[in-house]
């Protein structure tokens, strides 16, 4: 527990029937961790089947260079004269099947498929900068659009319908329910404690070392005490509250850390993931909040596998996990040395 001015950041867990019941220090959300479950059958198929999935999808991929102009839509209206936004290998355009406001897709590479350790710094930096600039441009034209979301679904098990590497950016007029809760709880912590929860969390995790992975000039990496996804890593930015505030320096360090994390994921056998930013609003410096991103693994693509989410997660908001965060940190930490 971390005490500051009479308030306690509590890392609460209990054990019942060999299962660790953990509670998020900020929200109180419950996770259940039983490392013994990791030995269950999860990938029954031949991982060699991935090559067939990649080859089959390449034949009709709308994001490949020879089809992208014909198969993807363009931005329309004032301010989007170029139709699409290009930067390096990144190409941004509207999502043809959006699930939110101002929903854009950003192709990351010209290559149809890249392994987790094959993404270059230039690719990811161009993609993040273009996505940030898109969010700012949307906000300039629609002042009510203040909540930017950057996400990356890699391979079909992550809910990514297209194999070709691509990110997504949304700029919404209301926060996601989970984001609204994070903002509210962070404000409550600040009002009661006089300090920023996210800074306290990063400092506390670095001091104890159990879940700490890395600290740089702009951000810290830790595994989540009560994860909501498998192999969950948090990227906590030190001085930003919104994705829209990220400058070249912050993005460059985020990219370096993301490349390290993806390399670590591949080394421990992960082949699919989700990444999402948890951002404060544009043009409102929320001093009580810090921008952070979460990275979680998903089942390996190819063959028959057991999904990593079930009714507890989808319907009861209780997240069942089979990997101890401390073990994930211990495996990834050497990569950052």
List Cα–Cα distances, 10 to 22, 181, 292, in angstroms.
11, 18, 20
Return the closest-CA partner of residue 125 out of 259, 281, 245: 259
CB–CB of 272/53 below 8 Å? no
pLDDT tens for the chain, residues 1 to 337: 554 444 578 999 999 999 999 999 999 999 999 988 877 755 544 566 788 889 999 999 999 999 999 999 999 875 566 689 999 999 999 999 898 999 999 999 999 999 999 999 999 999 999 999 999 999 999 999 999 999 999 998 888 889 999 999 999 999 999 999 999 999 999 999 999 999 999 999 999 999 999 999 999 999 999 999 999 999 999 999 999 999 999 999 999 999 999 999 999 999 999 999 999 999 888 899 999 999 999 988 876 566 777 767 876 777 778 889 999 999 999 999 8
| Domain of residue 158, residue span | 2-336
CB–CB of 101/172 below 8 Å? yes
Which positions ≥6 away from 213 have C-beta within 8 Å? 221, 222, 223, 233, 329, 332, 333, 336
CATH number of the domain that residue 9 is part of: 3.30.428.10
- Which spans in the chain are helix H? 49-58, 68-71, 121-141, 177-193, 197-208, 248-267, 311-316, 325-332
Domain count, the chain: 1
């Amino acid at each position: 527990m971390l005490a500051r001015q009479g308030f306690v950041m509590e890392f609460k867990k209990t054990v019942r029937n060999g299962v660790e019941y953990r509670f998020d220090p900020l929200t109180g959300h419950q996770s259940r961790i039983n490392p013994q479950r990791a030995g269950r059958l999860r990938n029954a198929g031949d991982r060699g089947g991935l090559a067939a999935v990649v080859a089959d999808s390449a034949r009709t991929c709308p994001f490949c260079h020879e089809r992208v102009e014909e198969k993807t839509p363009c931005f329309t209206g004032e301010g989007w004269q170029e139709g699409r936004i290009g930067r390096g290998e990144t190409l941004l355009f509207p999502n043809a099947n959006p699930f939110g406001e101002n929903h854009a897709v950003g192709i990351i590479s010209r290559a149809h498929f890249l392994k987790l350790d094959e993404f270059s710094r230039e690719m990811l930096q161009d993609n993040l900068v273009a996505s940030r600039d898109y969010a700012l441009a949307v906000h300039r034209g629609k002042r009510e659009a203040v909540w930017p979301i950057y996400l990356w679904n890699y391979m079909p098990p992550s809910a990514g319908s297209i194999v070709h590497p691509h990110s997504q950016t949304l700029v919404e007029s209301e926060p996601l329910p989970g984001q609204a809760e994070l903002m509210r709880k962070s404000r409550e912590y600040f009002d009661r404690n006089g300090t920023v929860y996210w800074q306290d969390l990063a400092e506390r995790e670095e001091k104890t070392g159990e879940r700490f992975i890395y600290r740089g000039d702009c951000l810290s990496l830790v595994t989540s005490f009560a994860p909501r996804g498998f192999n969950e890593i948090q990227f906590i930015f030190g001085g930003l509250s919104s994705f829209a505030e990220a400058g070249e320096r912050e993005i460059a360090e985020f990219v370096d850390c993301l490349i390290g994390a993806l390399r670590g994921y591949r080394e421990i056998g992960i082949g699919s993931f989700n990444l999402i930013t948890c951002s404060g609003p544009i043009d409102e410096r929320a001093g009580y909040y810090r921008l952070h991103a979460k990275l979680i693994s998903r089942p390996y693509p190819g063959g028959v596998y057991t999904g990593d989410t079930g009714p507890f997660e989808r319907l009861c908001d209780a997240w069942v996990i089979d990997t101890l965060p401390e073990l994930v940190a211990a495996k990834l930490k050497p990569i950052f040395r």
